[in-house]
Structure 1
């Protein structure tokens, strides 16, 4: 395929890089299979312990130099990375779509997120502000400043194989950190392609080798990052199970974690909702990326007075969905990432039926010409109860649960009564309902929206959630502070040395 050649990808690719230099990886290889057609795209080398040690050594030396580069100069490098991504947007977006299975529009949108975070980080490079405070002691001044941490380990997931890395790496770069990226073993070629793109910028600007590194591998590679005392911050995106393991390991060495884990997101549809608007938000939220977003809408909590009419609208809309090759822009829903995901989808459907769920739109695996990979499934809808065990569980697939409510307080309680706390939304034209939903007595999620769905966050706001979602915040707002350490400074410019709190210590 032309986009593979444009991105410098081959049948066999080295899997370890310190920026512009590549190592094959001495622990075997990963094969990347496309869920679109089941074909092998290419192979990528896996980092062994020796490769990992070499990368960390190079990154450690790079940090000593990179932290001294003025932040606006670091921002200029990031600006050029954004320009390089603009030039390769079509090719990289096509690869993301083909390797991961999301629609081409979503693949291109993911690359656009990378471009947007580069633009954000460029401005941020001149705004790494600290505060100044008045001292209680005469002739003293107090202020705080922010310094880079060092090596930032980034563990990313398959569903956003490039964007989430950029959320971390571009901010970390302007903060003066260096990054070591462990991409998902399910989408390694997307990471290799990104490294090829950025390598041109790094080389042109004489950026120290080791500022942006990639180490492909599986669980063992992630465990090396998590347990390494030389990596002060590990940013991990993935399942709650994975996040708990990473958090435990990093906490044991008193390191820092930034966790973006599971979501079980709900939209409350009020009797005062614009139902046409609610339909659009619910439909994309539930079936976008074939239900494989952490912000995917998995539950609809619908007021009993509009329940039947909205269910009818939604069922009709599901009947118009086109499932197929995501590179064909006329299709709405692509494949799941692999057959393990298909099996998890089928098990969730069976579990829902056993608990008493009623499927108003049946699910199942799609077969026939064009679906030979075995990874295509039907988006489905089930009427369920909030206390079903399967409803409490995140299933990374297009399964949507419907339930009724009577009062808004009841709906909010239903929404909050799950272990996860990432994204949430209410559809209402009632100002009082909207404000209650956004209040301290409302949604307990890190993201709470009014009259838009749960999916599709912008990079200007901090992204992340509470409870089993991990509590991390990435991307916009002041998320940059995760990648730096705060230092409080006091300067005495007088001729005396008074002590704080009026303490006397006369000699």
Structure 2
């Protein structure tokens, strides 16, 4: 017997709908490699409908006093907690993620982030009014930008959706969001949660819309005449395409793209502690994280000891079934991503050495072993380009100058870390490293109050924090004559 596939649908103006032309795509569970659902393959008619709904809902949502938008987001956060097990199940099936880790590492920060932006909703302020010309007072208004077209990635479908819709809605914008074509399930569930809250509190459900689809759907969203802003988390290639498309009508663009985080380990580092933390930060979520600790630069005096300890940690790290509470990570997200990671390993230069892992594991699904590769040079492909898999590379450096040069010597600039007991050196490195975030003696913690975003080909704009909130607003100068 063939098991019937679950049918996911778009959420437009408060209704769950199939694609207007009936097209669908299969959604595969990466832990099994088998399809479990179908989702709409949305086209121009679906994008038009979603944008029309968001545009119609915008004036009333914009004009609400901030406290009312805060009420909505606080209730959404409460509902996330109440329906946590549904969200966990959807995300685990979406991504093959271990259930226990989604419960402990994703639900709590998402709820906290929504509540943070609920507070930010009441901080739509400009600088103090003042007189800068005789007889006139100037006032600054901070306003929402309008309809936001948002495209979320497949590595953290739920959390990245939160990072997008929460500041946008808090600032008074309306949203059309597209999940990745490989991971639509949890975003469709989020639509049900937000839609029900909007309805309960007497607001238009057109404030929040979800359309499923592929790259073409995303292109149609970005090029549509209605949105005032396009926001994407994805690859550098996708970001460049979005920036180019948005330039045609000068849309505002918010890009969080790839990363190749350097992890600079000096000779005075506590090696066991550093190895433990770095291996977790490198392998968590199968290394499918733009900030993952996957490019280690270690001082030559401790190189061999560090590599041996890291290889041992890799051999003790588990990947496996979603219900196994001992695993650190699940599968790669899709067959193409598995092929990409394998390709990096197959193309390793002769001078590289695989210290641990390096192969696919399991009889089904897209699982890849925790991997350590040493003996690499700065211009090697695997050093310069984002693998987005559970692969940690190691290079040996001789001094601080070389460490900085190699750390900065990639096209990405999202995150980095420095491992040393020398405070002055840590401060010098934090100044010299050309990355949006520098962690010292840790790697990967994030908090809602602090910004996340990079430079160079890692994109521009910030997620989280008041800076991320500001990105979803525009500034207006109002000047009034004091003569009446």
CA distance in 2, matches of 1:17, 1:91: 18
Equivalent residue, structure 2, for 1:482: 471
* 1:254 aligned residue: 250
CA–CA distance in structure 2, aligned partners of residues 327 and 444 of structure 1:
40
What is the TM-score normalised by the length of structure 2? 0.95
Query: Is 2:232–2:256's contact at 8 Å kept on the other side of the alignment?
Result: yes
Once the two structures are superposed, residues 234-266 of structure 1 have per-residue CA deviations (whole angstroms, 9 ceiling, x without a partner) of 000111011100110101211111001110111
What residue in structure 1 maps to residue 148 of structure 2? Answer: 152
What residue in structure 1 maps to residue 165 of structure 2?
169
**Compared with structure 1, are the counterparts of its residues 451 and 360 closer, same or farther at alpha carbon in structure 2 (3 Å cutoff)?**
same
> Is structure 2 residue 8 aligned with structure 1 residue 23?
no
Task: Give the conservation status (yes or no) of the 8 Å contact 1:89–1:112.
Answer: no
Q: Which residue of 1 aligns with 2:381?
A: 389
Pairing of 1:59-78 with structure 2 (within 5 A): 59-78=54-73
Aligned pairs for 1:400-479 within 5 A: 400-439=392-431, 442-453=432-443, 455-479=444-468
Measure, in 1, the Cα distance between the counterparts of 2:380 and 2:394: 12
Please say if residues 16 and 214 of structure 1, whose CA atoms lie closer than 8 Å, have aligned partners that are also in contact.
Answer: yes
After superposition, the C-alpha distances for 1:188-227 in whole angstroms (9 at most, x for unaligned) are: 1111111122222121112113100001011111011111
User: 1:170 & 1:214 partners in 2: Cα distance?
Assistant: 14
For 1:94-113, list aligned pairs within 5 A: 94-108=89-103, 109-113=105-109
Partner residue, 2:82: 87
Tell me which moved more, 241-250 or 484-493. Answer: 484-493
2:371 pairs with one of 363, 366, 380? 380
> Helix, strand or coil for the counterpart of 2:306?
helix
Take 1:14 and 1:321, find their aligned partners in 2: how far apart are those partners? 35
The CA deviation at 1:46 is 2.6
The 3 A distance-change label for structure 1 pair 14 and 397 is closer
Aligned residue for 1:35?
A: 30
- Deviation track 1:452-493 (CA, whole Å, cap 9, x = no partner) reads 11x232222111111111122111132211111100122221
- Show structure 2 runs of 5+ residues with no match: none
Q: CA deviation at 1:26?
A: 2.5
Larger Rg computed on CA atoms:
1
Q: What is the rounded CA distance, in whole Å, between the counterparts of 1:345 and 1:446 in structure 2? A: 26
CA drift at 1:277: 2.5
Q: Which residue of structure 2 aligns with residue 366 of structure 1?
A: 361
Distance 1:153 1:110 in 2: 24
Q: Quote how far apart the aligned CAs of 1:19 are.
A: 4.8
Match of 1:138 in 2: 134
Deviation at 1:133?
Answer: 5.1
Aligned residues, how many? Answer: 478
Deviation at 1:447, TM superposition (A): 0.9
Aligned to 1:245: 241
- C-alpha RMSD of matched pairs (Å): 1.6
TM-superposed CA distance for 1:336, in Å, is 0.8
CA contact (8 A) 1:15 1:46 kept: no
Tell me, what secondary structure is at the counterpart of 1:243? helix
Cα offsets for 1:362-408 (capped at 9, x unmatched): 411113xxx422x1111211111122123101111111110111211
Contact 1:14 1:25 in 2 (8 A): no
Of 179, 183, 187, which aligns to 2:175? Answer: 179
Q: Structure 1 residues 29, 121: CA separation in 2 closer, same or farther (over 3 Å shift)?
A: same
Q: CA deviation at 1:116?
A: 1.2
What stretches of structure 1 move > 6 A for 4+ residues in a row? none
Q: Label 1:360 to 1:57 Cα distance change in 2 as closer, same or farther (>3 A).
A: same
CA contact (8 A) 1:292 1:397 kept: yes
Deviates more, 1:414-423 or 1:267-276: 267-276
- Match of 1:180, SS state, is strand
Kindly indicate whether residue 197 of structure 2 is the aligned counterpart of residue 201 of structure 1.
yes
Q: Does 1:494 align with 2:468?
A: no
Question: Higher mean Cα deviation, 118-127 or 78-87?
Answer: 118-127
Alignment of 1:340-351 (within 5 A): 340-351=336-347
**TM-fit CA distance, 1:94:** 2.9
2:133 match: secondary structure: coil
